[in-house]
Structure formats: C-alpha cells, structure tokens
Chains A and B, each alone.
Chain A
Amino acid sequence: MSDLTLQQPDDTGHEGAAATQTEKTLSRSDLNRAWWIWTFFNLSAFSMERMQAPAFVYMMSPIMKRLYGDNPEEIKSALKRHMVFFNTEPQTGVIAHGVTVALEQQRASGAPINDEMINGIKAGIMGPMAGIGDSMIPGTLIPILLAIGISLSQGTGSPLGPIFYIIAYPVIILSISYYLFMFGYRYGMSSMRELAEAGFRRITSSFAVLGLMVAGAIGASIITLVTPLTYTSGSGASLVKVSVQTTLNTIFPQLLPLLLVVFLWWGMRRRGWPINRALLVTLLVILVGYLPGLLGSIFNIPILSAFRIF
C-alpha cells in the first residue's frame, strides 16, 4: 500500500487534467448532509454479505449529485465503486467517509485517482477504525457513562441515571463523530498515516487504562457473590460459629466476585471460550456451589447442607 501517496495530485498532472475538467467544489452543507445521512442510516440495510455498503452509497448521494450530477455514466461508475463490502465502527469510522469524499472530489476535479485506489484507502481505514472504535466507544466510553448512570440510580431507582445517559451519550459521541468526519475530509489520505504515526497505540493504551480502572470499579460494585458457609471455632462452651463471608470481608471485600471475573477472563483469553461457554461456566459454578445445600435441605441431610458454598 506504499504507492497510495499517488493520490496527492502532483501539479503537472493536475494542470493537464484541469484543461478538460473544471475544479469541483463541495459546500459545507453537502458535507453536513452526508454526515447526517450516515448517522441515521449507517446500519439500516445491514446484511452479512455487504454490511454497510447500501448506507455508504446513501451517504455519498449528496456528494455524487454535486460532483457528477450532469453525467449519468459517472454516477453509474460511482455507484458500482461504493457498493462493495464496507464495515467499520459506525460512529468513529467516519474518518474513512471523510477521506473518501475528499478523494471523490479530487477525482471529479481530474486528479488521477482510480476505483482501486479509493476502495483500497477505504478498506485500509475501515479495518483499524473498526478495532479502535470498538474498544474506545462500546469498550470504554459507554461503560463509563453507564457506570455513572448506574451510580446515580443504584439503590434508589431514581430516573436520574437513565436521563443522564440519554443526554450525555448522544451529545458526546455526535461531537466526536462529526469532528472525525470533517477531520478525514480535510486531511484526505495523509491524515491517517500522520495520525497513526502520532501514536494511535499510545492513545488506545491510555484509554485502556481509564477503561480498565472503571471496569474494576463497576465490577466491584455490581457483582453479588457471597457464601453462607460457616465454620466452628473453639471448643466446649466457647464454641462459636464463624461466617466465612464475614472473615473474607475483613481480609478482602468482594474477593469471590473478583476471583470469578479473573477465572472467566482466563478461560476466554487462554482457553478461547466463546461467550456462551463463559455463561455456562458461571451457571455451573453457581450450581455446584448451590446444589449440595439444596439437596441437603430437600432430603434433610445435614452434612450436605454444610457443604453449601453459595
């Protein structure tokens, strides 16, 4: 992909083309319309086969009309060019859309840009942006905002938490999305490399730090896993029943949930459990801890009852 720099129109080639084709321009409202269409329709005709391609064409429609409005052949070739597979994180992946619009404009103005180049650049951006977007938006931003919302309503059931989330998320994400779209448009191709070199990985790993700390806080406050297990200590008259959970709480509160999370994480990461397997494991962990006590209470077997872990 190193030859992608070709899309920067070199002066001589550009002047040659400009003799036959006039410089095409796009207005701010064309760009705004394209972004709004995408924001609403990004998954509306989603299918496993072509994913977001129909929405991408719809997004390009005001651009195509402005650039090629008087030329049905150009419209036809643009439609075919953009009906190819497209998929990215819909809210942050719009960098790809901005860049594509910029390329399409340069192409219409006579720059030597062909279909393969446009689709190569689109595909080159949509992949990384899908990964980065997924880990930043549903992976970090949404859990943080939800955690704040949960903490505003936890215990009381107050509507404040949901209302906070309903307002905060769209405002934050739409600002980011609009900025990224325009960013992509302004800088065209070179932006992506510049941004990548400016340390995309540094940004994501810093986001991961924030996301992980919040994940720890959420986990510690929403998972419930306690044991009714007791043991006896002392002898004779000073015999006392001690609750295991009370002892655990003095040493490390919420230790059982932490162990469960780490166990599930280990299973998914090292053993490659799919999510359903993780759910099943949780089901079994609870069942194994609960079953002896249950059987003990049904059949009145004290020894079994004592083995009840949860």
Chain B
Amino acid sequence: MQVWQAALIGLLCYLGALTTPWALGTTGGWYVLTRPLVAGFLCGLILGDVKTGVLIGIAVQGVFIALITPGGSVPADLSFASYLGIPLALVSHASPPVAVSLAVALAAIGVAAWQLLSVGNAAWAHVCDRYADEGNLAGIIRVNYLAQIGTFLLRGVLPFLVLSLGSGFAQSLIAFLNVQVPWLFTYLGLLGGALPAVGIAILLLQIAPSARLLVWFLLGWILVVFLKVPTVGVAVIGVLVALIYYWYFSRMETEPPQPQKAEA
C-alpha cells in the first residue's frame, strides 16, 4: 500500500470516528463514513478496486447491520473493522467471508481504543468545570475542539501507521497462511458466512419488545425465501403493514379498553 493511500484511509477513519465533528458529526461520520458498506466503497476507490471493495463492504456490513451504541458503550468498534479490516483484506486479496472474520477480530480489538478515549476524555470535562466556575464560555467551546487531539491520534495516526507499516506484513502473513494452513481459511470463510446471524440476532433483541413480535421477522424471512421478494419489496410491504398495524391494531395492544366505553 502506498503512503498516500494509507494516509487517505487514516483520514477517513478519523473523519468517520464516533467523536469527530467535521463530517456532519455522528450523522455523516459514524453513521455514514464508518458503515462498512460505505467504507468498502471508499477503500475500493482509494486502492483501485471498487467492485471488490463494495463486495467486501457488503459482507462486513452484514455482521454490523444493526450496531447500536447505547449510552456510549460500543459493543464492537466499527472504525477499525471498516478502515483497518477492509483495506487489509483488500490488499491481501482475501475473500469477502475471510474479510468478515478479520473485521470482526479488529472490531473487538478496537473496543479497547474506544474505552481508552472515552475514559481519558473525562479530563476535558474537569477542564470544562473550571471554565464554568470562571464563567468562561469561550473556554468550554475551545474544549470541544481540543478534545479532538486524542481522537485524531487514535483514529487517524494509529490506523495510518498500521496500514503503511503493517500492510506488507499482513499481506505476506495471509499469503503464507493460505498455503500452509488452507483449512483455516475454509473455516474463516464458513464463519464469515454465518457471522451476520449475530448481527441479525442483536437487531431482533433491540427492536422486538416481546417475543410475539417475532412473527413479523418470520414474515419478512418467508417473503424472501419462498416468494423471492427482493429486500426493497419487503421494505415497501413493511411500510404498508406498519401503517395498518398503527391504525388498526397498535391501539388495542398498548391501550387497554376504557371501562366507561364498555356497553352491555
């Protein structure tokens, strides 16, 4: 990987980090640039293979399709999955399922980086307290910019160093393992295919308040496997069903009938 490629990917990793303001805050950064679907496309552009980039991005996106970060607790670090896992997989010519396994491992490592940052940043909160005592509004505003130093080091400089110094090593390691222990890659490939199941299960956990609601999940599944409806088609049907549910059924479930309305 060329130095300029590593630098650009490092920059994207920084811009897409959860705590970076410049790319429309969390909206354009964490929720757009760092989604593996988008990261795969952008890394593909930088590394000269958009098609493979997008395909790897789609495979990795499957695992993290419903990543929710409640109360700042990041269960899996997308920054490193997207901007270390995907480019390393791309330059090593790894298959999309192998890329998924690689990205999941890096996502687990990246959680430590996030924890370091979110605990370390508490120091800035104390600086803010001092400014608040002094009535120094400009000081508190400045902290919002100064706190970027840590994010930049961890999300920009570190990935740049790893990619520019380590991509050759990662490349030859993967090539070596591919020849010496081919069964490992068969296993990683199988694993990468199955890992999106975890992402889907997390999504179910987050949005189904009761187990009975799983019938809707089954309905979506069956529309695809038996009736061959494309995902977009299911989304359109889903909107209609949600409207019907909202108008005719949700009232019954959430609001018990008023006693005074009951007639003999």
Closest A residue by C-beta to B17: A43
Count chain B CB atoms within 10 A of each CB in A154, A165, A209, A220 and give the residue with the most. Answer: A209
Among the listed A46, A205, A269, which residue makes an inter-chain contact with B250, where contact means beta carbons less than 8 Å apart?
A205
A54–B19 alpha-carbon span in the complex (Å): 12
A87 proximity list for chain B (CB < 8 A) = 71-72
B148 proximity list for chain A (CB < 8 A) = 44
Check A149 for interface membership: any CB of B closer than 8 A.
yes
Check A187 for interface membership: any CB of B closer than 8 A.
no
What total of chain A residues lie within 8 Å of the partner, measured CB to CB? 115
Check A286 for interface membership: any CB of B closer than 8 A.
yes
A150 to chain B, nearest CB (A): 5
Check B206 for interface membership: any CB of A closer than 8 A.
yes
Given contacts A278-B198, A286-B187, contact A212 B234 (CB under 8 A): no
B190-215 contacts to A, CB under 8 A, are 190-191, 193-198, 200-209, 211, 213-214
Total of A-B residue pairs, C-beta within 8 Å: 393
B235 proximity list for chain A (CB < 8 A) = 144, 147-148, 210, 213-214, 217
Interfacial residues, chain B to chain A (CB-CB below 8 A): 18-22, 24-28, 31-32, 35, 37-38, 40-42, 50-55, 57-58, 61-62, 65-72, 75-76, 97, 104, 108, 118-125, 128-129, 131-137, 140-141, 143-148, 151, 183, 186-187, 190-191, 193-198, 200-209, 211, 213-214, 216-226, 229-232, 234-235, 237-239, 241-243, 245-246, 250-251, 253-255
Interfacial residues, chain A to chain B (CB-CB below 8 A): 38-51, 53-55, 57-58, 61, 64-65, 72-73, 75-76, 79-80, 83, 87, 90-91, 130, 134-135, 137-140, 142-144, 146-151, 153-154, 156-159, 161-163, 165-166, 169-170, 173-174, 177, 199, 201-225, 252-254, 257-258, 260-261, 264-265, 268-269, 274-276, 278-279, 282-283, 285-287, 290, 294, 298, 310
Closest 4 interchain pairs by CB? A216-B220, A224-B193, A76-B135, A47-B121
Taking A42-B25, A147-B232, A204-B209 as given, write out 20 further A-B residue pairs in contact, using a Cβ cutoff of 8 Å, ordered by the A residue number: A44-B20, A44-B21, A47-B123, A57-B141, A65-B137, A75-B137, A90-B25, A139-B206, A146-B37, A147-B231, A147-B235, A157-B52, A159-B50, A210-B242, A212-B214, A215-B217, A217-B221, A218-B62, A275-B198, A275-B202
